Amino acid sequence: MSAAAFALVDWGTTSFRAWACAADGTVLTERRAPDGLTAVTDGDFAGVLERHLAAMGVGAGVPAVLCGMVGSRTGWTEAAYLPVPTVLEGLANRATAVSCAGRPVHVLPGLAQHGEAPDVMRGEETQLLGVVAEGFDDGLVCMPGTHSKWVRLEGGTVSGFATFMTGELFQLLRSHSILKQAVETDARLQPDDPGFAEGLALGLGRPSEVTNALFALRAGWLLEGIPPARQSARLSGLLIGLEFAGAMARLGRPTRVALLASGPIASLYEAAFEAAGLRLDRRLDADLCVRHGLLSAARSLHPDRSSP
């Protein structure tokens, strides 16, 4: 693929996503695979990368820019954590070069928050670089997921952030707790589910009661015969409501807010913003923003390849 100027890779713990892009940013081909860090054997990150890029038709010499947990201590190489406040446009300047025969490879750094509220992120900072490229550089950004991030942007600078283990807690409680039978369902959660709305209202309005409300899910199933689908929706609402209450307590009620999400979770968080009385200024696609962030970094690292 002679037209490819850059290979852009978002490499996480359990997933691998790559895009081959032309100099003008046009996506030439895309590849997704379950080849996250946990699937790499004998530390052969270079081999995994080259296998995927070859399948995409990306020739030797085309530079690759990577972000995500590939830059963690258990990844290919440990890329630096930059302390906040951090100007996002400077991410590429602190990228870590890694050895890979035949092409330049750089891994973007993560961000770290020191002090009374220590916190870290890897991968989300690159999405945020894409958020800024999309024109949202002031306000609060909500990034739902296994570990949801709420990030304060000031003129394209990350001035603070907070992580909430909402998605992981949901999975743990649903699969490995006493609540399992009460919430076990194959039904897909919808934002207009009454159980979800009930959980949201309680989590937002009375967060100190959430651990009591969690046990009530089991009691309601046992005593009242409330179906697991309804209880699962309520569990989701409780945890997302608790997250919103925590984010407002930590970062304050925002005057401008953007939601960065893809897939079904986006509609759940949109409903949560409405329940919290917060108007969304922007709805941004997470996949698009990580690609834009990687492209911005690639152009900074390789300006000679940035002109069509």
Residue 147 lies in a domain: no
pTM: 0.93
Residues 57 and 132 in one domain: yes
Range of the domain at 107: 6-136+286-305
The whole-number pLDDT of residue 101 equals 75
**pLDDT single digits (tens) 165-224:** 999 999 999 999 999 999 999 989 999 999 999 999 999 999 999 999 999 999 999 999
As a whole-number percent, the residues of the chain with pLDDT over 90 amount to 94
Q: Are residues 15 and 122 in the same domain?
A: yes
What's the pLDDT at 308? 59
In a domain, 76, yes or no: yes
11 and 122 inside one domain: yes
Predicted confidence at residue 306, as pLDDT, reads: 75
Residue 125 has pLDDT above 70, yes or no: yes
Domain at 169, CATH number: 3.30.420.310
Over the stretch 245-295, which tens digit does the pLDDT of each residue have?
999 999 999 999 999 998 899 999 999 999 999 999 999 999 999 999 999
Q: What is the pLDDT of residues 24-49, one digit of tens each?
A: 999 999 999 999 999 999 999 999 99
In this structure, what CATH number is given to the domain that contains residue 44? Answer: 3.30.420.300
Q: Supply the DSSP string of the chain, one letter for each residue.
A: -TT--EEEEEE-SS-EEEEEE-TT--EEEEEEES--GGG--TT-HHHHHHHHHHHTTPPTT--EEEESGGGSTTSSS-PPEEESSEEGGGTGGG-EEE--TTS-EEE--EEEE-SSS-EEESSHHHHHHHHHHTT--SEEEEE-STTEEEEEEETTEEEEEEEE-HHHHHHHHHHHSTTHHHH---PPP-TT-HHHHHHHHHHHH-GGGHHHHHHHHHHHHHHH---HHHHHHHHHHHHHHHHHHHHHHHH---SSEEEE--SHHHHHHHHHHHHTT---SEEE-HHHHHHHHHHHHHHHH-GGG---
Q: Into how many domains does the chain fold?
A: 2
Instruction: Tell me whether residue 144 is in a domain.
Output: no
